[in-house]
Structures are given as structure tokens and as C-alpha cells.
Amino acid sequence: MTPSVRRVGWVESPLQLINALEAAASTDEDTLILLRRGVAQLADTAAWLEPHLPAHVRFDDAAAATDPRFAGATHRLVGDAFSGQVRAVLASRAVGDLVVVDDGSAALHLAAVLAGTQGFSRMGQREPLHQRALGRVSGRRLRDAARAGRVTLMTAYADHPAMPAVPGARMVPNRYSWLRTLAVAAPATLPPTVVLGSALAVDGYIDDDAYGRWVLAHGAGAAYLPHRRETPAWLDVVRAAGLDVVDSGLPAEIVLGADAGVRTVTSLPSSTGATLARVLRDHATLTVTPIPDAWWTGRADGPLRSTLAALTITDPAPTEEA
């Protein structure tokens, strides 16, 4: 590792990368952020952001979090504490000084884990035995490090009423100060009304047909920003209904925050409820549609449902009951 590097980050998604940059920009620590290879949108997002990096931050890629630059660091930054990659490191190495940034709504779940009110596991998933074993070890080490004052949570949910107190941990609000100050051209031109795609249906947590009806009810003329895991076949259905599918290869926080013409953004409960509320222009309105009980599938467990329910801000137009 380069001697001047103070903190080494490991990120696996575009949102994690944005939040890692916000954390790095808020300090003067020389920071190396390692990007997991082969992740959709991550390389494109890094390429778009790289010309604007703070002077003390740089990127590189890596095949795994066990890369010696990250695994051997005493000061780390991660975007997803529940990642199998991160668990493997934390279960075998000292936690050290750790900054955890948002990986969407999992920030609320992680805080509950560190507070000792929930077990260490990813929401909505039945984890295999080896991941549960790693989770028990890394969860215990994270809680011990938090109590010792060696864990910082930088999160857009810091002031959220559902955020539990975490004894010993430092809680830092993420206001997206760095992203908001970028003077860059919008990467896409959007109409006034935008609908955000969600991974809840493609991941099997809500009913496909109910989700489809919700999206298509917004009608022709709206733009649809797909989630990176949605399928080409589904996007063809959206286009056929008259919505404009805008897939820039960049996360919504960048695309929507840079476009001054957007007036209304609609989504289902997700991390966007906290992130976009801070990056949208002042004249834009974000509305979050609550998920009716009938939409949920058996795969959606209690922690997932309760966390997403807490992220509902407002209910826009009345929604159908599926």
C-alpha cells in the first residue's frame, strides 16, 4: 500500500461509491477507494466521477476485499457491512478504525445490529450456513468496535426517526455536500416527471404484476429510470406504454441531482427516500408510494417490510390494491 494512504475503502455498488466519496471529501485523509471488478454501473460511475475527485482521493479496482491493500489496512471504509467480501475480512482481521457509509436502507438495519436489537444478517435473505457463521463472528467484532468508539456511521438516515442509537458509535449525517457542489452538465435530459425503477420486484419481494401496474399507471410522457437489475424485456414493456426509459449507466443521485428541469420524482420505498431528498433541486418534489400489504411475497421478511415502511415519506396519487 502507498505509504501516504491513510484510509482504504471497498465498494461494490454505484451508491456505495458516491457515499464513500462523500465521506472521503469530508476529511483530509489520503484515501484509496477500491472498486469491485465486474459490477454493473460501478465502472461507469467511477469514470464519470474521477475527473472531479478531491485531491486526496483516488480510485483503483480489485478482485476481492481480501486484496492486501484493504485487508491489511488499519483504517478502512466500507459501503456494505453485510457483504460476504467484507465479512471474510472482518472475521479474520481486526476491525481497526472503520467508517461505514450507506448502502441504501440497510443502514437502518446495520444500526439495529450494532445496537444489539437484531442479528447480523442481510434483510430479506436466507443466508447459507457459511455466511451465517461469518456473520456471527464479524457482527460480534463490529459491535465490540462500535462500543469502543472505533466505528463511524456516515448516513443519510442519521436524523431519521427509525434510526436507533448505537452506543459508542459516531453518527455523521450525510448531506451530499460534495455531490451538490459539482458544477457539471446533466448526463441526461429528463422531462418534469420521473419514475424510479425498483429492484423489489426483480428480487422477488413484491408481486411482479402489481409493480408493473404501478409503473405503467404514470402514463406516457414520464421518464423511467430503471434499476440496474431490471431486465431488457421489462424495459420494452415500459417503452411500449409510452414512458421514456432513460438508462445513462449512472445512479439516480447523479442523473436527477444534475437536471434542473425535473419537478416530480416518484418511487417505492428505498434508499432514494433519504438520498434524493438531499440531492434534488429545491423546486423538485419526491413522493414515495407505500407498498400495500397484498403486494408482498413470502420472501419479504419482517425486518425488510418494517424498514421499507419506515422509509415512506408521502403517498402521491392513490394506488391500486393488488
Closest CA to 39 of 90, 79, 88, 93: 79
Tell me the CA distances in angstroms from 188 to 36, 93, 285, 304, one per residue in order.
26, 43, 19, 32
Q: Could you read off the pLDDT of 195-228 as tens digits, one per residue?
A: 999 989 999 999 999 999 999 999 889 999 998 8
- Residue whose grid cell is 408521502: 314
Domain match, 172 and 233 both = no
199 closest CA partner among 263, 278, 267? 267
Which residue range is the domain that position 15 belongs to? Answer: 7-180
Q: Are 143 and 169 contacting, i.e. CB atoms less than 8 angstroms apart?
A: no
Q: Which cell numbers in the block locate residue 318?
A: 392513490
What is the structure's pLDDT at 104? 66
Which distant-in-sequence residues (6+ apart) come within 8 Å of 79 by Cβ? Answer: 9, 10, 11, 12, 13, 15, 16, 17, 19, 20, 100, 101, 102, 103
Task: Give Cβ neighbours of residue 3 (< 8 Å, ≥ 6 apart).
Answer: none
Q: How confident is the model at residue 148 (pLDDT cuts 50, 70, 90)?
A: very high
**SS3 assignment, position 223:** strand
How many CA atoms within 13 Å lie on the side-chain side of 8? 22
Q: Are residues 214 and 103 in the same domain?
A: no
Same domain, 197 and 261: yes
Please tell me the pTM assigned to this model. Answer: 0.84
Q: What is the pLDDT of residues 281-310, one digit of tens each?
A: 888 889 889 999 999 999 988 888 887 887
* Among 205, 207, 200, 203, CA closest to 299: 205
- Please tell me whether residues 166 and 234 are part of one structural domain: no
Q: Which of 145, 180, 215 is the last residue of a domain?
A: 180
What's the whole-number mean pLDDT along residues 52-65?
96
Q: What is the pLDDT of residue 51?
A: 93
Share of the chain above pLDDT 90, in %: 61
Structure confidence at residue 321 (pLDDT): 38
Backbone angles phi, psi at 155, to 5 degrees: -145, 145
Say whether 108 sits in a helix, a strand or coil: helix
Q: Does one domain contain both 283 and 208?
A: yes
Beta strands across the sheet bearing 285-288: 244-245, 223-225, 193-196, 264-267, 285-288
- Tell me the per-residue pLDDT of 226-244, one tens digit each, with 9 for 90 and over: 988 899 999 999 999 999 9
Q: Are residues 93 and 152 in the same domain?
A: yes
| Model confidence band, residue 119 (pLDDT cutoffs 50, 70, 90) | confident
CATH number at residue 51: 3.40.50
